[in-house]
A and B are shown apart, each in its own frame.
Chain A
């Protein structure tokens, strides 16, 4: 069982090594990186490449670690008790399974994605330490012990909003997805748009990397924005000269809405374009 990237996802060598190490030893893999570099997509691609079911646990600021294991719905049991419902005798009727329980008892080996773990409370990762380490936990209400039949492949993503505790980090493999360089980016584009012309890609990438270099941008465009923009460019079927003729007069790229997601960034580019026009007029 080896991960070599998929038809729809370009994995760099270092990413492959990290994924394979995590999948072989069944330790969690912690993925960090700039937004839009494909952290979340990765889990889906790993699942597809191993033919495993994907179980997604999207973490929010209100998510508690316990919710991933199970929840005991005491309120509805209280209500049922008042209504004289017979179900109330069996407490397990009110235990709702969480994503980790689901992953532990899945018949086929699953890939469990814990997405954006840093969104949750600072204690969240600590509360999952033993559960992720031993892949088992107790249900206090019923006295049942849930043990993973086979250790799931766990992928955890983080956007660096909070530091994760050391004890948690020690149990993970770590990979930082760096922003793809040009050749990797060309491979990514080729995977998504097999019939795109080489010249369009070249011109578009020139503009794209230039934009990323502009100092003072609030939100740099990332891979996902580039792909959206290329899709638009292909759809609109713009003549190539429009992309090429961007020397001084038109600094703002065509269909920039897909690349620049921030009003201030668009203003910045308009200002730059204005300045270069004025500078061009004088020189």
Chain B
């Protein structure tokens, strides 16, 4: 039962397993809900989705899989007699017929005409172009084709809701794949903090040592990770492009988490890092840090985070002299590889949505140089990037 639903959920990357599915079936058998489609929606949502970030995706899958079902279940108590509105065969209109349909006019006019028609109408009517019913081309009624049509019956059922619960998509802004914004910046910050706490040294756990010693009757020394921040980060930000607002956001995000890191240094570059970087955008030409100095100054346990759209001409990456701003003796790729050789932990955060990465040649090149460690600037991406950075090497 509903195996199709489970498959669709899994296709949409909602991690539902057989365990959840069996739970749902068990709940159905135990008569937890009465058989209304909203109740089924709530129950299945509660079973399958364990992360509010996936709720919106679930709503979409539910809408897709159970499309049309509500018309069978919904008995409808709209003002218009239900038999008129019962769904009839699919409407097949030719191009010409579609063109024939004239818009009636403004909303008020449509409502006024509707009222008039209602008074005139005596019986059920189907497929016409004036009377109220289903499958017609009149602007009134359901399932019809008219750009200005008024929906009656169908969804305006028992609870007077025009939109189905799952179609409202109330959880849209909880989705983990939306780009970072003011709403989810707090969550992102929390993830960064967690990242910052990792990898601390051990200290003596006094309480555990005392009770361990009492339990075993010999000296039992217990160590625990020190509550201390050990993560050191070099942040490289691409400035001077269309992605500046996102870069700014990212910069603020890391500044806010600054106290959590042991060290956090900002550097700026344009499009691709070359032989020099700068730390102050107003003095970007006068006070530059040679990249070579940077490689020598910061030890290899620093973690690199690049933020940029990686969208440029391929020459800017792989040819000497390819930079748009100055003459570079060595290609951007050479410099980037040099940095990656020194610092094994590195990621690239890209504000461009992941779906469009395939369209940019330079993005693909950058991704190859980064050995696929490129992540979108979303909560999910940030998570993945932090996980990559903390991975034991």
Report which A residues bind B (CB closer than 8 A). Answer: 13-14, 17-18, 20-21, 24-25, 27, 30, 32, 72, 74-75, 77-78, 160-162, 164, 166, 169-176, 178, 215-216
Bound Cα distance from A171 to B20, whole angstroms: 8
Contact B50 A30 (CB under 8 A): yes
Closest 6 CB pairs of A and B: A17-B42, A169-B50, A74-B215, A14-B42, A74-B214, A18-B46
Chain A residues positioned under 8 Å from B43 (CB to CB): 17-18, 21
Instruction: Find the A residue at minimum CB distance from B212.
Output: A74
Chain A residues positioned under 8 Å from B210 (CB to CB): 75
Contact B23 A25 (CB under 8 A): yes
The number of residue pairs between A and B whose CB atoms lie closer than 8 Å in the complex comes to: 75
Bound Cα distance from A161 to B191, whole angstroms: 8
Least Cβ–Cβ distance between B355 and chain A, in angstroms: 25
Known: A17-B39, A17-B42. A74 touches B211 (CB 8 A): yes
B187 at the interface (CB under 8 A from A): yes
B residues 186-221 in Cβ contact with A at 8 Å: 187, 190, 194, 210-211, 214-215, 217
Bound Cα distance from A46 to B171, whole angstroms: 25
Instruction: Find the B residue at minimum CB distance from A77.
Output: B214
B residues 136-192 in Cβ contact with A at 8 Å: 165, 170-171, 174, 182, 187, 190
Bound Cα distance from A216 to B42, whole angstroms: 33
Q: Which of A18, A173, A176 contacts B52 (CB 8 A)?
A: A176
Interface residues of B: mostly helix, strand, loop or mixed? helix
B55 at the interface (CB under 8 A from A): yes
Contact A178 B42 (CB under 8 A): no
Q: Which of B46, B55, B187, B217 contacts A21 (CB 8 A)?
A: B46
Bound Cα distance from A164 to B39, whole angstroms: 27
Q: A24-B32, A178-B170 are in contact. List 7 more A-B contacts (CB 8 A).
A: A18-B43, A21-B27, A24-B30, A25-B27, A74-B215, A78-B214, A169-B50
14 pairs from A and B in contact (CB 8 Å cutoff):
A14-B165, A18-B42, A21-B32, A21-B33, A24-B32, A25-B32, A74-B215, A164-B50, A173-B47, A174-B46, A174-B49, A178-B170, A215-B182, A216-B182
Bound Cα distance from A160 to B176, whole angstroms: 13
B17 at the interface (CB under 8 A from A): yes
Q: Which of B15, B27, B49 contacts A24 (CB 8 A)?
A: B27
B38 at the interface (CB under 8 A from A): yes
Instruction: Find the B residue at minimum CB distance from A20.
Output: B32
Contact B42 A161 (CB under 8 A): no
Chain A residues positioned under 8 Å from B19 (CB to CB): 170-171
Known: A166-B15, A176-B55. A17 touches B23 (CB 8 A): no
Chain B residues positioned under 8 Å from A215 (CB to CB): 182
Instruction: Find the A residue at minimum CB distance from B40.
Output: A17
Bound Cα distance from A74 to B30, whole angstroms: 46
Instruction: Find the A residue at minimum CB distance from B27.
Output: A21
Least Cβ–Cβ distance between A63 and chain B, in angstroms: 13
Chain A residues positioned under 8 Å from B30 (CB to CB): 24-25
Instruction: Find the B residue at minimum CB distance from A216.
Output: B182
Chain B residues positioned under 8 Å from A170 (CB to CB): 17, 19-20, 50
Bound Cα distance from A27 to B19, whole angstroms: 12
Contact B190 A161 (CB under 8 A): yes
B373 at the interface (CB under 8 A from A): no
Chain A residues positioned under 8 Å from B187 (CB to CB): 160
B45 at the interface (CB under 8 A from A): yes
Bound Cα distance from A158 to B218, whole angstroms: 40
Contact B55 A162 (CB under 8 A): no
Chain A residues positioned under 8 Å from B171 (CB to CB): 176, 178
Chain B residues positioned under 8 Å from A78 (CB to CB): 214, 217
Least Cβ–Cβ distance between B9 and chain A, in angstroms: 14
Bound Cα distance from A14 to B190, whole angstroms: 29
Least Cβ–Cβ distance between B50 and chain A, in angstroms: 4
Least Cβ–Cβ distance between A193 and chain B, in angstroms: 26
